[in-house]
Chains A and B, each alone.
Chain A
Amino acid sequence: MIYLFQILNGVGLGMLYFLLAVGLSVIFGLLQFVNFAHGAFYLLGAYLTYDLVSRGFDFWLAMPIATLIVAGLAALVEVLLLRRIYNLPHSFHILVTVGLALVVQEVTIILWGPLGGSVPAPDGLQGVVILGNFVYPEYRLFTIAFTAVLAGLLWWLLEGTRLGAIVRAGSESHSNMALLGYDTLRINTAVFGFGAGLAGLAGALAAPIRGVEPFMGAEALAIAFVVVVIGGMGSYTGALVAGILVGVIQSLMTTLWPEGARLMIYVAMALVIALRPRGLLGRA
């Protein structure tokens, strides 16, 4: 019974991890750009939600506003900074995005202080669902359902719409897309803003579960990388499968071998790299 419950908990965690990682994966897929500032956008999403809720905004309003602000800021960063370095070696990408992450973290401390804070679960979702001997927070159930719906929408957006076709085509060949007359600069900006916005949304959703503190971005980035590496860079389905896999492994291990719960995530990643270097669903 406890294992079933840990699996449920792991799926809940995994859906958050998926949301965190899918933006990173989509950005890499189109731009061939590893965004080390992804955790910083997650951090910003969480802090903006915290700030808005502290000012009296309803969570349901704060969450989309925070997400949109993060997406807007990310698009601005792409225009002002990142598009200048796409053609440079990866070391420049790392340098600039790690620097950006540090700046965001320090600005967060300047604006909101080093202490962190709590975000209450929204009204109506503050209770728990009782399942026999176990209880599960209503808000966590909401995040599972919400992220599942979002995952469906994202899949439809990427696989079933013209916009998705453009993004997928772009990830195959940027230059051909430009030859066909598409404004690749604008598409890059939109995709980067969209991917970072998903990280911001993950931060907003996580705030009532984890609270906020200035160093939460680094941990989120580490998890996002693990998920993307296991799932396969640029693979939407890979991010979903790997997100849930990582969440379930982490949760199950807290019962089977608590000391090694975190370690096993990285063991899983190492195994996948050894057996399938491009990830479970990565493209050859």
Chain B
Amino acid sequence: MSRRVLAADDGLRIGVPVPISGAYAANGKYATMGAQMAAEVVSKASGKQVSTLDLDTEGKPAVAVRKVQDAMAQNGVKLFAGGILSSESLAMGKEVDRGQGVFMTTAGADEITGVDCNRATFRWSVPTYGAINQTVRPLINLLPNAKKWYTITPQYVFGEGLLKAAKDIFAEKGIQHVGNSYHSLTDKEFSGYLTNAMAAQPDVLLLLNFGSQSSDTLRQAISFGMKKRMAILVAWASGLEQFEALGADVCEGIYFGAQYWHTADTPFNRDIVPKVREKYGSSPNYSFVGSYICSKLLLDGAVKAGSTDGPAVAKALEGLSYEGPTGREEIRAADHQVIKDYYLLKGKAKSAMKDKDDFAEILSSGKSFLSPEQAGCKMPA
């Protein structure tokens, strides 16, 4: 655990449980930077001392829960912003609820604000249902002749959520789902799955995995010449950090779903993009902004409530409407889901990039959410 203290005494303190080591460490690194910036902003605005406590979850639910328990018991932390993977977020949300704290995450599984919703847990990101509806639906409209789709899915709660939402749209739109390959969370070699996909001769390859796994799948799909034979959609991309790792040549012509994109014309972006560029030399990415907004909302909620006590902060956040990274955003009181835009991006050619971060253009954006009842959220009293 590392602790960054902005001032001498203990004022507000927020735990940042994210993977700082392991396969999702890059996301975790930017998340800690985002939380730190939020702490600085809230400290300046409120005059309170704010500190962050980085907790390395290693992307493992058991480790995440232990770190959160320790932070609550030993450091008295009640506010938590983090959780990159759905599995760790589901586990941590329950633990923070037990400890009378409050937790805000960017993880995607519908259950987080659906059947497993609780008083302590909030989610900034659009869940899997919205991610699929804002990418698969517009792409079907964009490519009306693409009738055969193949999916590659990580076999855990997040992947299953994306797959179910995609299958529902396929059934509704008369799309032929010509096959699906499941893989484990530890796979790095996807050529066998891609061979299956090629045999099914789809018009669209839909990748439902995340982070380095979706990057590996995409790289290998391109090496198999699949970009020339079919459209490729990565339903849940990490955005800028992933595009930087992939490079413009790989991204060109690929469709990506994204929670955030720094060129979206929003008051938030007009304010934060120049600041981040000045401080870090590059535009803000999803991991940074996701953690920034989760931390800022929790800290603002604590300032407003005059307490870090979970139920008090939760009450301050419920129903809140604010200028967020994607424009006007609102925290739905019934299930603690933030109602916000999700983007469909398309990778640009290197020659079309206006600056080093200009990897993609926004094709469409919009809000798609199940109602709390449809998602199965029965908020405990």
Q: Using a CB–CB distance below 8 Å, which chain A residues touch chain B?
A: 1-2, 5-6, 9-10, 12-13, 109, 113-118, 120-121, 127-128, 133-137, 139-140, 208-211, 213-216, 219, 250-255, 258-259, 261-263
Contacts and interface: CB of A to CB of B under 8 A. Distances in A.
A251 B249 CA distance: 27
Interface in B186-227: 186-189, 191-193, 195-196, 198-199, 201, 212, 215-216, 219-220, 223-225
A259 B245 contact: no
A262 B220 contact: no
Most buried by B among A1, A2, A251, A258: A258
Given A219-B188, A259-B182, A262-B187, A211 B196 contact: no
B100 interface: no
Given A9-B191, A10-B192, A255-B192, 9 more contacts: A117-B247, A118-B245, A118-B249, A120-B249, A135-B198, A137-B223, A251-B191, A253-B192, A259-B155
A120 B195 CA distance: 21
Nearest to B181: A258
B164 to A, nearest CB: 17
A210 B216 contact: yes
Contacts of A1: 199
B177 interface: no
Contact of B195 (A139, A216, A254): A254
Contacts of B29: 114
B244 interface: yes
A250 B26 contact: no
Given A118-B219, A213-B212, A213-B245, A261 B187 contact: yes
Chain B interface size band reads 35 or more
Interface in B1-34: 22-23, 25-26, 29
A209 B199 contact: no
A110 B193 CA distance: 33
B192 A209 contact: no
A2 B195 contact: yes
Given A259-B182, A259-B184, A254 B193 contact: yes
B183 interface: yes
B155 A254 contact: no
A2 B192 contact: no
Contacts of A136: 224
Contact of B26 (A116, A133, A134): A116
Given A136-B224, A213-B212, A13 B196 contact: no
Contacts of A213: 23, 212, 245
Contacts of A117: 245, 247
Contact of A215 (B25, B181, B195): B25
Given A6-B195, A259-B155, A209 B183 contact: no
A211 B245 contact: yes
A118 B223 contact: no
Contacts of A9: 191-192, 195
B198 A254 contact: no
A118 B250 CA distance: 8
A210 B195 contact: no
Contacts of A254: 181, 192-193, 195-196
B23 A215 contact: yes
Contacts of B216: 210-211
B195 A116 contact: no
B40 to A, nearest CB: 22
B188 A210 contact: yes
B224 A137 contact: yes
B241 interface: yes
A252 B244 CA distance: 33
28 contacts: A9-B192, A10-B192, A115-B26, A116-B245, A117-B247, A120-B249, A121-B223, A128-B224, A133-B198, A134-B199, A135-B229, A136-B224, A140-B191, A140-B223, A210-B188, A210-B220, A211-B216, A213-B245, A215-B23, A250-B192, A254-B181, A258-B193, A258-B196, A259-B155, A261-B184, A261-B187, A262-B184, A262-B186
Contacts of A13: 189, 191
Most buried by A among B25, B181, B201, B223: B223
A10 to B, nearest CB: 8
Contacts of A121: 223
Contacts of A219: 186, 188
A83 B202 CA distance: 56
A137 B225 contact: yes
Contacts of B26: 113-116
Nearest to A13: B189
B196 A208 contact: no
B184 A134 contact: no
B165 interface: no
Given A2-B196, A211-B219, A261-B192, A115 B183 contact: no
B220 to A, nearest CB: 7
Nearest to B199: A2
A118 B246 contact: yes
A9 B189 CA distance: 11
B251 to A, nearest CB: 10
A215 B199 CA distance: 31
Contact of A255 (B196, B225, B249): B196
Contact of B212 (A5, A116, A140): A116
Contacts of A251: 191-192, 195
A136 B29 CA distance: 37
Given A128-B225, A258-B182, A5 B245 contact: no
Contacts of B223: 121, 137, 139-140, 208-209
A5 B193 CA distance: 12
Contacts of B250: 118
Contacts of A134: 195, 198-199
A166 to B, nearest CB: 36
Given A116-B245, A134-B195, A209 B220 contact: yes
A12 B25 CA distance: 30
Nearest to B196: A255
Given A2-B199, A134-B198, A210 B181 contact: no
